[in-house]
Chain A
Amino acid sequence: MVRLESGPGEIMEVSMGPHHPSTHGVFRMDVRLEGERVVRLKPVFGYLHRNHEKIAEHGAYLSAIPYTDRLDYLCSMTNNWGYVLAVEKLAGIPVPERAEYIRVIVAELTRFQNHAGLVGFLLQDMGASGTPLMYAFREREKILDLFESLSGARMMCNYMRFGGVRVDCSAEWLEEVRQLNARLPRFVDEFEALLRGNEILMARTQGTGVLSRELAINAGVTGPMLRASGVNYDIRKVDKYGVYDRFAFRVPLGDHGDVYDRYMMRILEMRESVKILEQALKDIPEGPVMDPKTRLRGLRPKAGEAYGRIESPKGELGFFLISDGTTNPYRYRVRPPSMINLTILEDMCLGRNIADVVITLGSVDIVLGEVDR
């Protein structure tokens, strides 16, 4: 902390992070304060830059899949999907139907546990000291058990491949997902009932961190943060990748673009995920999950490029691949939704108290593995 000048409205420059209880990882903000009001905020990151892109360019297309798990480390299944979608576009690889349904099931389970975790972390930032997080993690552990029995690992699943998924799921596993899915609406009700109407939550989040429609679109914000500002853009509906056009689900939109709307987005999207899961579990067909003729090792796509994107729980996760005809990608680029959503952090926090910075950051939903790659 450095005091720059004194007088009416002392200017203080505070460096929040990289080790801070509420910065969601190794993230730093250089905040210039006048008293308690923010006059300038510059995000600084790169503390977790593990040069994922260079490592992926050194290896083959297949060997990048475990590294994609570690991008947004809470949602490894959707990261896998974004990458294999890009490779499938690049090389023109078809995907069997059962694999598409399994992908939707694990992606929606991922979305559910991510949003539950986010509400827990946001409430912890507000001072609720761990209790909502305990509820969220209780459900998350059940979902991770399912992932572990399916793919072998709780968090870094490494489950999808271009052309399908790695192994087929059993009928018992589907039955377990059905039973869990039947209990999830009650969990969302319980979770919401604990928090709805909470005075501190309402007072701190309503009207804080407001993001306007135009700025959100121009700054490339995607995901629940964009929809909280009232823009109807969900890539599951726009691109209709996979088999998402077969499911009936709504896209919740917010009116004010403040932290409360973003929090409500997550709750509503959790309910929509439950609906999609119900439909997917009902309609999943039998069949293979991978075409045996698909080449995994030694895949040599024709020279060219492709951009594939999905709606990950954080926003638009895209992978841009340039192939030069060899086994390794020439250029491998990740579109990190968390980093791009941070572009307007300063705009949302100017003129507010420093306490509001913490919850505004919490509502952006960043994961440093994705911001820094």
Chain B
Amino acid sequence: MTSLPAVEELKAWIEAGVPGAAVRVIPNGSPSAQHSLLIDQEHARTVAEFLRDDARLRLDFCSLVTGVDWLDTETTEKIKVKKVVDGVEQEVEETRKTKTPGYLEAVYHLFSMEKKHGPVILRLRTANRTDDAHVPSLTPVWRSAEFQEREAFDLYGIVFDGHPDLRRILMWDGFADYPMRKDYVPPADDPLVGVRP
């Protein structure tokens, strides 16, 4: 836990070790201070291998792979615009709505069994939630991601390119929904009873 550098230095190491990789620090607001690194899809596999094989890091243990669903968000803001009203130029308040498209995310928690440090948290994001929900699979780098990526595919619909055996793992093969998504609606004959959705 003490031999890991701070997250900004880690970003610099990755950018030095994998030229062309786009790494962004995602700060964490909670007291746990577990900041994460957002990696671009193109270099994800190379960055993962760098993290696993670099002599200072040796992150040989991928502990957890999580799928997260971020819905499309709409922010409304009131801004003052200069407009001509009845022939007089005035400052008018307008509400502007900006839509941020949602995405699906795969979060990887990495530790090192050799150096006993961690966690280093990687994030991979899909382009959107609808037709382009692809990320590269990190199973060839860490075998422990095999079942967990299948689970993220099963429950969220994130398609991991390069996974050796990508099919549903918890639900049956003919199941058509992605139940852990935030906009999943259960079938009509089994409505939610005890929870407030």
Contact = CB atoms under 8 A, between A and B. Distances in A.
Q: Are chains A and B touching in the complex at the 8 Å CB cutoff?
A: yes
Contact of B30 (A53, A91, A339): A91
A318 B66 CA distance: 12
Interface stretch (A107-115, A249-257, A266-274, A301-309): A301-309
B63 A309 contact: yes
A323 interface: yes
B30 A220 contact: no
Nearest to A51: B179
Given A51-B179, A217-B61, A305 B147 contact: no
B64 A307 contact: yes
Contact of A220 (B62, B119, B180): B62
B34 A305 contact: yes
A342 B147 CA distance: 9
Given A49-B171, A233-B113, A331-B68, A220 B32 contact: no
A193 to B, nearest CB: 34
Interface in B57-85: 60-64, 66, 68
B128 interface: no
Nearest to A232: B113
Given A238-B116, A304-B29, A306-B32, A58 B180 contact: no
Contact of B171 (A46, A54, A239): A46
B46 interface: no
Contacts of A301: 30
B60 A217 contact: yes
A336 to B, nearest CB: 9
Chain B interface size, under 10 / 10 to 19 / 20 to 34 / 35 or more = 35 or more
Contacts of B36: 305
A215 B170 CA distance: 24
Nearest to A341: B144
A40 to B, nearest CB: 12
Interface in A273-300: none
A90 interface: yes
Chain A interface size, under 10 / 10 to 19 / 20 to 34 / 35 or more = 35 or more
Contacts of A218: 60, 142-144
Contacts of A302: 29-31
A340 interface: yes
B29 A239 contact: no
Interface in B132-162: 142-148
A302 to B, nearest CB: 5
B16 interface: no
A89 B31 CA distance: 7
A333 B64 contact: yes
B30 A92 contact: yes
Contacts of A303: 29-30
A307 B180 contact: no
Contact of A58 (B32, B172, B195): B195
B169 A333 contact: no
Nearest to A303: B29
A258 interface: no
B147 A54 contact: no
Nearest to A328: B196
Given A302-B30, A331-B68, A239 B146 contact: no
Contacts of B60: 217-218
Given A318-B64, A335-B63, A219 B144 contact: yes
A28 to B, nearest CB: 12
A304 B36 CA distance: 11
Given A59-B195, A220-B61, A91 B68 contact: no
Contacts of A322: 68
A347 to B, nearest CB: 9
B29 A54 contact: no
B100 interface: no
Contacts of A53: 180
Contact of B34 (A231, A306, A333): A306
Interface string A200-226: 000000000000000101111110000
A295 to B, nearest CB: 15
Nearest to B116: A238
A221 B142 CA distance: 11
B100 to A, nearest CB: 15
A313 B132 CA distance: 40
A301 B142 CA distance: 32
A137 interface: no
A120 to B, nearest CB: 27
A305 B32 contact: yes
Contacts of A307: 32, 34, 64, 109, 119, 121
A316 interface: yes
A30 to B, nearest CB: 12
Report the 8 A-B pairs with minimum CB-CB distance, sorted nearest first: A220-B144, A304-B30, A92-B31, A304-B29, A306-B32, A46-B170, A58-B195, A89-B32
Given A231-B113, A233-B116, A303-B30, 4 more contacts: A53-B180, A220-B143, A304-B28, A340-B144
12 contacts: A49-B171, A51-B180, A58-B196, A91-B31, A92-B30, A218-B142, A233-B113, A304-B28, A306-B30, A308-B32, A309-B63, A340-B144
